[in-house]
Chains A and B, each alone.
Chain A
Amino acid sequence: MEGGVATNQRFPKIKIREIKDDYLKFELRETDASMANALRRVMIAEVPTIAIDLVEIEVNSSVLNDEFISHRLGLIPLTSDRAMGMRFSRDCDACDGDGQCEHCSVEFHLDVRCDQDQTLDVTSADLMSTDPSVLPVDVAAKSNSSAYDASENRGIIIVKLRRGQELRLRAIARKGIGKDHAKWSPAATVTFMYEPEIRINEEMMESLSIDEKRSWIESSPTKVFDIDPNTQQVVVTDPEAYTYDEEVIKKAEAMGKPGLVEIEAKEDSFIFTVESTGAIKASKLVVNAIEVLKQKLDAVRLSDDTVEADDQFGELGVHMRGG
């Protein structure tokens, strides 16, 4: 607290509801929508991953042209636990981003030729990495079989070859962010919703007949309310199923019962759903987003020379104002 300045810092709370390697659902409370949205935006567009960015094709006699294949290679998600510690090629002074440099790039090789009558699938499993920590996500999942059923996994198909066709290439994967190209986005989906607060006017509700209650409940396109089989009362069974469609409010008005239910979006409570492409774990995606946002804020701090220049201006200003 410099100069006795009171801080206006918040202390948000987190509660995880469900966690898997590539899926995460959690509650974020006691902060505002700007923070929730900043985190969402950073997860989608600014958390770095590694993706193929440069392809040198030696032989391609497949039916797909070179740039089509290059594009498909770029979109294959690669395990990117290293990405936060890597350099961007453009900032790397150790190399010219040609793939020889371990600080900023990873080299891949692919060499497949079809010598059989049956169509041959060229898949992500044919990509040979020079760094064992950077692999196509499905190949990595296969090797630590805990993630999902490996027998189902036949790799991500890049192209199909018939007899005599061949594909041989060298690819350089680089660190990047989703803002540059969506292939670098670690997020499949990141969403948050405001937690709704649903208040039923019990007194008014009891003035409804059971059939009226039923038709009111039915008016909601999602299953938010139900009737308690014992008490015959309308109860909120799943507040988060509410999509802010206001159908139940309109229905209540149409029934001549305005104010039957009040629904408000809490301004400081958010429910996040994070799905990862597999490049990094969903939980790591959140942690990295926090870290990236911190770095961004750090970068927008005023530089010393700006502050100095203003101090001088300030004195001048005081003279001019006759202080």
Chain B
Amino acid sequence: MNAPDRYERFVVPEGTKKVSYERDTKIINAASFTIEREDHTVGNILRMQLHRDPNVLFAGYKLPHPLQYKIIVRIHTASQSSPMQAYNQAINDLDKELDHLKTVFEEEVLKHSRDY
């Protein structure tokens, strides 16, 4: 009866930013990224990719509440990098990984396509 509309989970409301960025006021090179209408799917791959970056001292994400359709990604880096740089690089690396994955998967499908 008072359940939120289902589309609330994945449609970013008008006038709301998909990603907002907030620097930590006390720690240099630390920041939080609030990503609207995303969940563990994006949160977890971002976090794990950030962990692969040697300049990242801390990376974590949280889904504050199941009915608050957003995630918060927090990044703390060493001085030679910045949270923004690390965030962008993580996305670029994941994007390229997926490009590669698509290529090798389609090659494999082609190899097997004569069998069926």
Contacts and interface: CB of A to CB of B under 8 A. Distances in A.
A237 interface: no
A38 B42 contact: yes
Interface centre among A21, A296, A300, A302 (most CB of B within 10 A): A300
Contacts of B95: 294, 297-298
Interface in A6-42: 7-16, 19-21, 26, 31-32, 34-35, 37-38, 41-42
Contact of B91 (A37, A301, A306): A301
B98 A296 contact: no
Contacts of A34: 44-45, 47-49
Nearest to B40: A41
A234 to B, nearest CB: 34
Interface in A155-182: 177, 179-181
A122 B6 CA distance: 31
Given A5-B89, A90-B11, A180-B7, A296 B101 contact: no
Given A297-B94, A301-B88, A313-B23, A290 B6 contact: no
A9 B93 contact: yes
A13 B95 CA distance: 16
Contacts of A21: 116
Interface residues of B, number: 52
B38 A16 contact: no
Contacts of A300: 18-19, 35, 38, 42, 46, 91
Contacts of A7: 89, 92-93, 96
A20 to B, nearest CB: 6
Contacts, number: 134
Interface in B1-18: 6-7, 9-11, 17-18
A299 B18 contact: yes
Interface string B43-64: 0111111001100000000000
A35 B97 contact: yes
Contacts of A9: 93, 96-97, 100
Contacts of B99: 294
A13 B116 contact: no
A286 B111 CA distance: 16
A14 B104 contact: yes
Given A8-B93, A297-B95, A177 B42 contact: no
A181 B95 CA distance: 28
A12 B93 contact: no
A293 B98 contact: yes
B101 A12 contact: yes
A21 B113 CA distance: 10
B9 A179 contact: yes
B100 A11 contact: yes
A300 to B, nearest CB: 5
Contact of B101 (A14, A19, A303, A306): A14
Contact of B108 (A15, A181, A302): A15
A283 interface: yes
12 contacts: A11-B97, A14-B105, A15-B108, A38-B42, A41-B41, A42-B41, A90-B7, A293-B98, A294-B95, A294-B98, A299-B18, A302-B87
Given A8-B89, A37-B41, A317-B23, 20 more contacts: A7-B96, A8-B93, A10-B100, A12-B104, A16-B109, A16-B112, A21-B116, A34-B45, A37-B44, A177-B10, A286-B105, A287-B102, A290-B98, A293-B41, A294-B99, A300-B35, A302-B84, A303-B19, A306-B20, A310-B23
